[in-house]
A and B are shown apart, each in its own frame.
Chain A
Amino acid sequence: MSALFQIQSPGILSLLQDAGRYGQHTIGLTNGGPMDPIAYKWANRLLGNSDNATVIETTVGGLSLISHVNTQVAVTGANVSVKINGAPQAQWQTLAIVKDDVLELGFATQGCRIYLAVKDGFQVGTQFSSTSTVMREGVGGLTGKALTKGDVIHVLDRDASERISLLKLPEKQQPEYSNAITLRVIPGYQEHAFSRHDQRMFFYHEYTVSDLCDRMGYRLSGEKVNCNVQGILSEGIALGAIQIPKDGQPIILMNDRQTIGGYPKIGSVLSLDLAKLAQLTQGGKVRFEPITIDHAHNLLLLAQHKFENTVLEIIKPEQLINTKSGQSK
């Protein structure tokens, strides 16, 4: 049975996202998807959802919704206050929600991307095989745009008498968000168009996230990186590619990047670290460290292995969904 969640306030920016849109680059569509895929994956895992379930990504915060349904939710990502009917709740765990509950997110105190997942995922039709919202393309979500006040999103109603366990990601496994991070870089693309000296400068200096940072890309400021070539024939841009325009200030290309472009690139950031970059706002500090592609593959496989083998804590076993109101429908 289908029922609804209604947006009371979308906050700063709230977007429906699944794991992203893939296989559509040939018609010029970008990936979209969660900027912090690690927090996204945990939100779905806490609810036993599929890897591709649709969640709401809220940037900075301020989202509030009213539930017309009995279900469970989980809030992961940036540190933020979570309230149900005004009562404080924890992040990184399953929360029971009953009909007419109001769920409110405050504003992030550390990090900036917050993920709200619901049991079975938000029920949204796909466009080009994905529900991910890319505002620049007007594709995905409910209308190709950010969520607004009054929007209703379908979710599946769970039987109020269904017995559920509330789960939690053990505290030591929860990501910690920092304002100063090191990004591991796989050198590639036009790396040879940068002199050894310039490559060293790039990997030695600290850069600052500028005010030009959004879902398309993060523009950094700091030591100028010189390149021996000015422009190249437009070519495909990978997620995390580090573009060096004429002014020598690096731009790291994110989920909503354009699919092709003509600036030289020194390499690409490891996706595990892009998740950390996505949590930074203006003023955040970034350093770079080169790694090989083989090392990157090992790190990805290790991260996947750890994710799959993490045992979630059971905080309340076999509890009735509808404990708060004590009524069954």
Chain B
Amino acid sequence: MKIHVASENSLIVYFGEQVSQGISDDILRVSTFLSAHIGHELIDLVPSYASILVIFNPLKTDHLHVRKIIRKAKQSVPSLSQDGRTLETSNKTVQLPVYYGEEAGPDLSRLAVNAGLSIEQVIKLHQSIEYRVYAIGFAPGFAYLGEVDERIAAPRLSTPRKKVPKGAVAIADRQTAVYPAQSPGGWNLIGLCPTDMFNPHGDPIMPVSVGDKIQFIEINCEQFLKLGGQLPQGAIE
């Protein structure tokens, strides 16, 4: 574990340099411990793939004290990545239905051609893995899921789309995600998910949190509409 200064009121804690379930488990445990301090010296946390950004109130505490809290957090949670045990937490598995197809996912055929696979194989491979929520950010409710099968990994578009529809299921490198709202975006679109990923008036606001597992399940257009999904007006450019 390395602790670097990030800004006048934040430290960033690095747990490793690659994506792994073990590191993610450690991050989850340490974040849970640190959350107990939010509202006192700590203001907010941003857990991600291999790091936690710890934001504190510099008028109430200082970076030396926060370093101590972080070390204490690390010591009081056993390192799982080192002893190989699995994490026992209340993290849930969430099933997300996806309407795959060229109407819903305009990059599906290109992805298939580049991978030398059929569209059906790409769809199957995308569902073949139980993904993990590694981070939430970029936009409200945007969950970074990993890691997709190497065969269907694809770089971001060189020119991002101005409009990616709400619910778009997308791939960038070995990450996959569901766009919680219409927004600009550069990921490869392969389908649409009717589940609300961010509902400010809902309880819970998000169906997933960091550490949860995601299983994508294929549905057809009719089921998609029945589940409240809306097809974007006109073709996705």
Chain B residue, CB-CB nearest to A184: B8
Report B144 CB to chain A, min CB distance, Å: 7
List residues of chain B with CB within 8 A of the CB of A139: 140, 200
Contact B136 A27 (CB under 8 A): yes
The reply to whether A138 and B181 form a contact with Cβ atoms under 8 Å apart is yes
| B53 proximal to A (CB < 8 A) | yes
Chain A residue with minimal CB distance to B201?
Answer: A127
Answer whether residue B45 sits at the interface, using C-beta atoms and an 8 A cutoff: yes
Bound Cα distance A221, B17 (Å): 31
Given contacts A28-B139, A28-B141, whether A233 and B49 have CB atoms under 8 Å apart is: yes
The CB with the most chain B CB atoms within 10 A, among A24, A136, A189, is that of: A189
Q: Which residues does chain A contribute within 8 Å of B8, judged by CB atoms?
A: 186, 240, 268, 270-271, 293, 296-297, 300
Q: Is B168 an interface residue (CB 8 A)?
A: no
| Residue in A22, A186, A258 whose CB lies within 8 Å of B7 | A186
Chain A residues, Cβ within 8 Å of B227? none
Kindly specify which of B58-66, B75-83, B93-101, B121-129 makes contact with the partner chain: B58-66
Of A27, A139, A258, A270, which is in contact with the most chain B CB atoms at under 10 Å from its CB?
A27
> Chain B 140-169 against A: per-residue CB contact (8 Å), 1 yes, 0 no?
111010000000000000000000000000
Query: Which of A26, A29, A236, A304 has the largest count of B CB atoms less than 10 A from its CB?
Result: A236
Give the residue of B7, B39, B141, B205 whose beta carbon is less than 8 angstroms from that of A268: B7
Let me know if A169 is at the binding interface, CB within 8 A: no
Q: How far is the CA of A26 from the CA of B62 in the complex (A)?
A: 23
Q: In the complex the two chains form, is B43's CB within 8 Å of A137's CB?
A: no
B-side contacts of A233, CB under 8 Å? 17-19, 48-51
Of B5, B140, B144, which one neighbours A293 at CB under 8 angstroms?
Answer: B5
Residues of A with C-beta under 8 A to B49: 233-235
Closest chain B residue, CB of each to CB of A291: B8
> Closest Cβ of chain A: how far from B18's Cβ, in Å?
8
**CB of A21 to closest CB in B, whole Å:** 10
Whether the Cβ atoms of A259 and B59 lie closer than 8 Å is no
Contact between chains at B51 and A235 (CB < 8 Å) = yes
Q: What range describes how many residues of B lie at the interface?
A: 35 or more
A-facing mask of B115-141, CB < 8 A → 1, else 0? Answer: 000000000000000000001111111
Contact call A238/B45, Cβ cutoff below 8 A: no
Specify which chain B residues have a CB less than 8 angstroms from the CB of A142 in the assembled complex. none
Among B9, B18, B52, B59, which residue has the most Cβ atoms of chain A within 10 A?
Answer: B9
Tell me whether A240 and B59 are in contact (CB under 8 A).
no
Cβ-closest chain A residue relative to B137? A260
Cβ-defined contact, A189 with B4, below 8 A: yes
Q: Is A241 an interface residue (CB 8 A)?
A: yes
Q: Contact string, A21-52, partner B, CB cutoff 8 A, digits 1/0?
A: 01111111100000000000000000000000
Cβ of A61 within 8 Å of any chain B Cβ, yes or no, is no
Closest to B209 in A: A26
Distance (Å) between the CB of B225 and the closest chain A CB? 24
Contact A128 B200 (CB under 8 A): yes
Say whether B218 faces chain A, with CB atoms less than 8 Å apart: no
Query: How far, in whole Å, are A25 and B39 apart by their CA atoms in the complex?
Result: 14
Interface centre among B50, B62, B137, B142 (most CB of A within 10 A): B137
Q: Does A187 contact B (CB under 8 A)?
A: yes
Q: Name the residue of chain B whose CB is nearest to the CB of A134.
A: B140
Do A236 and B181 have beta carbons less than 8 Å apart? Answer: no
- Binary interface profile of A, 170-187, with partner B (CB < 8 Å = 1, else 0)? 000000000000000011
Q: A28-B140, A271-B9 are in contact. List 12 more A-B contacts (CB 8 A).
A: A24-B44, A25-B45, A26-B46, A186-B5, A235-B51, A236-B10, A237-B46, A238-B53, A260-B46, A267-B7, A296-B58, A301-B58
B interface with A by C-beta (< 8 Å): 4-10, 12, 17-19, 38-39, 43-53, 55, 58-59, 62-63, 135-142, 144, 181, 198, 200, 205-206, 209-210
Report, nearest first, the 3 A-B pairs whose CB atoms are least far apart.
A236-B53, A236-B46, A260-B137
